[in-house]
A and B are shown apart, each in its own frame.
Chain A
């Protein structure tokens, strides 16, 4: 798709797409994989993720959203149950 011209985008430096359209997940080398057996559902990974890339309903096992996860590994580091493994 060709990029939009100056008359087709909003003024004032307003982005015309939501930031969720920006898929930052393709940066990563390692991705977090959660072991459902070991997970204690504490929510630490969800809370610590600097990109809010872990989805959690507060009850079940959290799910990384690989569209946005940059693979930093903070979730694996913070997991008290050692349930997250960084996989290449």
Chain B
């Protein structure tokens, strides 16, 4: 086991923490579009570039659609590429999200979770990245600025693993993390360099075109390859099957990268997929994503002091969904409250529906209630969270009905 390295404690907000992670990650190309709702992330990165602190190409483009397209081109040419966006910006990238994933390009994107318009809103909400849930990106939802920093570095290593080769989206809650300054421990530059290395382009065989020679999977005039041309019903499905399998292989890689990083940094987030908190003898738990789950820990502590057996589980990796882990752990409880900062109109919150699918037909599955909260940046006050725990405790006796409850709305 490696020794935990000495680190520098800084006072950074979530955006700045991500910018530092990118600075240390030997990124070759950053492309971004500077408009609201853009974030401080690319502003800080552009300062690093301007000051000559990094050897990086910063491409200013005319839209978010182009920002991700530029990353696609750069990554296809073998570069380590990064971009950042939020809310409507992510929505404008929608077409290219699918293309990035299907061309198996290990682009890393940090998304500051903000509510999609309209009406116009710039505050925290998970509906932006939930909309991108099915695009083929790995999704990691972080709880604070420290984790945003750690996860951004891990994302490059996960994405570039030849077993995976899928893009990763790291998200942080708008304002609650992005604009909140806190303690952030930074690894030394050389430690991050060693952890990530230079991006290695995998080699593939295409016998009909390049004979027995293994050629780099990139745009290279010496060994020409075409990325993603017309692919109709004859082979498109096979390419999708490859993506499905790559996501399945990502489980192991995400876990390994998380463990390897923990050995260097001394920081871990559960097993990398789910972060349980005081669940060992719990009767009920609350499950959720993002910064709210930090506040939830303080409420668990308070209720424990009152003698109530409660706990919490934060889902860190949302795609690939940690279904086996959750299936195993959730059956230990009588009732589960699910916190959704997003809503699929006409149905439930996204985390709740995924958990229902996970637990369907499972013996001893818990009673489960969906609590939709915090849309458009509406705060989750500790008092409301406490009330939610009370309702989940009550469901042990009264049952989960109604299973759909909207909290904090007038």
**Closest CB in chain B relative to A47 CB, distance in Å:** 23
Residues A1-46 near B (CB distance < 8 A): 3-6, 9-19, 21
- How many A residues face the partner with a CB closer than 8 A? 16
- Contact mask B207-229 → A, CB, 8 Å, 1/0? 11100000001000000011111
Is the beta-carbon distance between B229 and A6 smaller than 8 angstroms? no
B165 at interface by CB-CB < 8 Å: yes
Contacting residues, chain B, for A3 (C-beta < 8 A): 234-235
Contacting residues, chain A, for B238 (C-beta < 8 A): 4-6, 9
- Contact mask A39-83 → B, CB, 8 Å, 1/0? 000000000000000000000000000000000000000000000
Are A11 and B209 also in contact (CB < 8 A) when A3-B234, A6-B241 are?
A: no
**Closest CB in chain B relative to A88 CB, distance in Å:** 29
* Alpha-carbon distance A17/B234, docked complex (angstroms): 14
B198 at interface by CB-CB < 8 Å: no
B77 at interface by CB-CB < 8 Å: no
* Alpha-carbon distance A3/B205, docked complex (angstroms): 18
Is the beta-carbon distance between A11 and B104 smaller than 8 angstroms? yes
Contacting residues, chain A, for B245 (C-beta < 8 A): 6
Q: Determine which of B206, B241, B242 lies in contact with A16 in the assembled complex, contact meaning CB atoms within 8 Å.
A: B206
Residue in B104, B209, B241, B246 with the greatest tally of chain A CB atoms within 10 Å = B209
Is the beta-carbon distance between B234 and A11 smaller than 8 angstroms? no
Interface size class of B (residues with CB under 8 A): 20 to 34
B103 at interface by CB-CB < 8 Å: yes
Contacting residues, chain B, for A17 (C-beta < 8 A): 208-209
B38 at interface by CB-CB < 8 Å: no
Is the beta-carbon distance between B209 and A13 smaller than 8 angstroms? no
Nearest to A8 among chain B residues (CB) is: B238
Are A6 and B242 also in contact (CB < 8 A) when A12-B103, A12-B104 are?
A: yes
What number of residue pairs across chains A and B have CB atoms under 8 A from each other?
Answer: 58
Q: Determine which of B207, B226, B234 lies in contact with A14 in the assembled complex, contact meaning CB atoms within 8 Å.
A: B226
Nearest to A21 among chain B residues (CB) is: B208
* Alpha-carbon distance A76/B207, docked complex (angstroms): 38
Are A14 and B204 also in contact (CB < 8 A) when A3-B234, A9-B235 are?
A: yes
Q: Determine which of B208, B234, B239 lies in contact with A13 in the assembled complex, contact meaning CB atoms within 8 Å.
A: B239
Is the beta-carbon distance between A11 and B242 smaller than 8 angstroms? yes
Is the beta-carbon distance between A11 and B165 smaller than 8 angstroms? yes
B102 at interface by CB-CB < 8 Å: yes
Nearest to A3 among chain B residues (CB) is: B234
Contacting residues, chain B, for A6 (C-beta < 8 A): 238-239, 241-242, 245
Is the beta-carbon distance between B208 and A14 smaller than 8 angstroms? no
**Closest CB in chain B relative to A12 CB, distance in Å:** 4
**Closest CB in chain B relative to A7 CB, distance in Å:** 8
* Alpha-carbon distance A63/B140, docked complex (angstroms): 58
Taking A6-B241, A12-B102 as known contacts, 15 extra A-B pairs with beta carbons closer than 8 A to each other, sorted by chain A number, are A6-B238, A6-B242, A9-B235, A10-B204, A10-B205, A11-B217, A11-B242, A12-B104, A12-B227, A13-B227, A13-B239, A16-B207, A17-B209, A18-B209, A21-B208
Query: Can you pick out 7 interface pairs between chain A and chain B where the beta carbons lie within 8 Å of each other?
Result: A3-B235, A4-B235, A10-B205, A13-B228, A13-B231, A14-B227, A16-B207
Q: Lowest 7 A-B CB distances belong to which pairs?
A: A13-B228, A6-B241, A12-B104, A6-B238, A17-B208, A12-B103, A10-B204
